[in-house]
Amino acid sequence: MMKMSCLLEKNITSGSYILIKDNVSWREAQSYCRVKYTDLVSVRNQTENVWIRSSVKDFERKKFWIGLFNDSLQWSDQSYSLFRYWASTQPDDTGGSQNCTAVSMTEGDAGGSWFDENCDSKLPFVCREDQLVLVNLTLTWRDALRYCRKHHVDLVSVHSEEVQSWVMEVAQKASTDQVWLGLSHTCTLSFWFWVSADFICYQNWAPRNGTGGEECCSLERSGAVESSGGQQWVSLPENQTLNFICSNY
């Protein structure tokens, strides 16, 4: 595996962009991003294109790989988008060998326009790391907590409506009807709390859930989000086995 250096990281919506300054081929960039992060960056709308432009504008190199190959509708991370930001003369497939895409920051290219390039060209590149990861294993809440802390950072804590919207998007891909969150109840003190040690301010409980009057016995209860429908939070016995969402922040 190539040893590479991370130049900067900028938080965006539900993920992060990471600019890697080393000059490599498109395939090498893709492999590195998939091992170290999530994948080469996908650019699915103008907002994401602006964020990428902002992330790389101060770096001395003026072209960077992104995750588009051969102008397919499908990006390197398997997402789909019709959004394109080609420069006026692009793609031109010079020599019939320009199947990979780079974003250009040089003057006259409208700053952030895309160019097709030979995939063997050596350029810096931009990776994306998802902040939330759905794990399709079915584990108890405590096993899910251990898994997230070993492989990521923690079970996700939902402190705002914005984070809830990310959770709802990720949870839709689950194979279980509910998905564990980093939300736990203590019978001793009779309140809910996040594993991040924060108290609950923002709430999105389904009716008759999270009322504080939880059934207390030898088995504590934990919080999950519905994977479909209203996607509200529900209180479940912690020994139930569900998919779960880990956070990388």
Domains 6-130 and 132-247 belong to one CATH topology:
yes
Is pLDDT at 60 greater than 60 in this prediction?
Answer: yes
Q: Which of 96-110, 147-161, 214-228 has the highest mean pLDDT?
A: 147-161
Torsional class of 225: left (φ above 0), alpha (ψ -120 to 50), beta (otherwise)? beta
Written in H, E and C, the secondary structure of the chain is CCCCCEEEEEEECCEEEEEEEEEECHHHHHHHHHHHCCEECCCCCHHHHHHHHHHHCCCCCCEEEEEEECCCCECCCCCECCCCCECCCCCCCHHHCCCEEEEECCCCCCCCEEEEECCCCCEEEEEEEECEEEEEEEECHHHHHHHHHHHCCEECCCCCHHHHHHHHHHHCCCCCCEEEEEEEEECCCCEEEECCCCECCCCCECCCCCCCCCCCCCCCEEEEEECCCCCCEEEEECCCCEEEEEECC
Give CATH for domain 132-247.
Answer: 3.10.100.10
CA distances from 108 to 58, 74, 84, 89 (A): 17, 28, 18, 12
21: which 2 tokens? 């300054």
Is pLDDT at 110 greater than 90 in this prediction?
Answer: no
Q: List pLDDT tens digits, range 201-224.
A: 788 999 988 776 566 666 789 999
Do 110 and 87 meet the contact criterion of CB atoms below 8 Å apart? yes
Average pLDDT over residues 189-209: 84
Do 199 and 193 meet the contact criterion of CB atoms below 8 Å apart? yes
Residue with tokens 């997402």: 79
Do 55 and 125 meet the contact criterion of CB atoms below 8 Å apart? no
Q: Which of 95-99, 114-118, 211-215 has the highest mean pLDDT?
A: 114-118
pLDDT bin (cut points 50, 70, 90) of residue 11 is very low
Q: Which of 7-16, 55-64, 196-205 has the highest mean pLDDT?
A: 196-205
179: nearest Cα among 236, 239, 227? 227
Is pLDDT at 61 greater than 80 in this prediction?
Answer: no
Q: Where are the domains of the chain?
A: 6-130, 132-247
Is pLDDT at 69 greater than 60 in this prediction?
Answer: yes
* Range name among 58-62, 78-82, 184-188 with the lowest pLDDT average: 58-62
Is pLDDT at 96 greater than 80 in this prediction?
Answer: no
Average pLDDT over residues 96-107: 82
* Range name among 71-75, 125-129, 191-195 with the lowest pLDDT average: 71-75
Distance CA 101, CA 117 (A): 6
Its pTM stands at 0.64
Q: Does CATH number 3.10.100.10 belong to domain 6-130?
A: yes
- Phi first, then psi: give them for residue 115, nearest 5 degrees: -130, 140
Average pLDDT over residues 38-59: 81
Is pLDDT at 233 greater than 50 in this prediction?
Answer: yes
Q: Which of 60-64, 121-125, 191-195 has the highest mean pLDDT?
A: 121-125
183: which 2 tokens? 């939300």
